[in-house]
Structure 1
């Protein structure tokens, strides 16, 4: 991201979206083996099927001792719609197979903002696209939609994180800049998007105010003396009104 007078040429900084994590089920459960039953008691037959129960360590168990329930089976990775929206975790259970599970009791990390399950509106993400609980510090933005590409994001989108299969449309919150925000002066001409520091507008560190987000420097309003540009961003040009003339 560059900070340059209008309309000078600009540098670029790219953000890469990483794939999400899928937990691995316990080794015994994953290949269908079960622990030996006590003498004189038949060993229960446990299979990865909807309704099966899972321990905290992601192994199949009898349902009188489980922490969560298998709610669906899916491909690896799950395709859109394979897992119910209230899935708390996705477990890899074998070659090209996963299990979508939901906890019997709270907490439910698959709830919006919970930090687990399927990425959906209301979830918080880091700059590499990984979901993180919103009550933990350090997340970059909050999803308002998951779209097939950035052009399909809703009008309230302020930024996006993209990969080859989807765009995470981000709204207000976290480190995402919004109109009226104040930023500190960058220490170098070319910085990453996450290095732009938002500060209180009445602080001595406030250098400029965000005026608008545009697709080209020439679209900035006349009140903007400088701009930031991030190559590949949803609206790559952030127009700034400099406070410290």
Structure 2
């Protein structure tokens, strides 16, 4: 049985990058936030489960359903700011609000605050390298100058709202390992946190 999830507000965590003096840090773009009624699975939007899309709600549905639009590829409790990062191929992130017991009941939250890393069942996949989105910037992604020393992701094929200006061609541990053609350093995180970007 599916459970409808009204979207409370736009939250954070789709891939953007900021650059200052040739270095970059992460910025956040809105993604949906969903409260969690108890329903379809043992864990609401657990890893491997699917959701439908809607303009005002997300519904957990069987992945075999014709309404299924995206699959959970990772699910974590807590806030994404302090939790594990989503996989590199994540298309978008759903922030899930905690549901508290009804008035007069004892106990902790019925469902804790968390976030689900989502992958569209069909293209487009903005989380793929060059796709222009996702919560992380990876090798193969393109960015453009957004003003005030910031850069943001855009599709490498030019289909995004903004034309790509730089492409991340390598991930390394330190800036001195970037090739001489590097025009911008982008913070990627992980074991190789420096992205070497060349001008397009």
Question: Tell me, which stretches of 5 or more residues in structure 2 are unaligned?
Answer: 1-19, 99-112
Residue 105 of structure 2 corresponds to none
1-side partners of 2:83 and 2:166: how far apart?
24
Aligned residues: 148
Deviation, 1:112, is 1.4
Deviation, 1:172, is 4.4
Residue 19 of structure 1 corresponds to 26
TM-score normalised over the length of structure 2: 0.59
Matched, 1:73 2:75: yes
Residue in structure 1 matching 2:120, options 95, 103, 108: 103
Residue 152 of structure 2 corresponds to 130
**Bigger Cα displacement from structure 2, 123-132 vs 102-111:** 123-132
C-alpha spacing 1:23/1:49, structure 2 compared with 1 (3 Å):
farther
TM-score normalised over the length of structure 1: 0.49
C-alpha spacing 1:71/1:169, structure 2 compared with 1 (3 Å):
same
Residue 32 of structure 1 corresponds to 36
2-side partners of 1:109 and 1:68: how far apart?
13
Aligned Cα RMSD in Å? 3.3
Question: Tell me, which stretches of 5 or more residues in structure 1 are unaligned?
Answer: 1-12, 35-42, 174-245
Computing the radius of gyration over CA atoms, which structure comes out larger, 1 or 2? 1
SS in 1 for 2:176: helix
Residue 51 of structure 2 corresponds to 54
1-side partners of 2:58 and 2:180: how far apart?
42
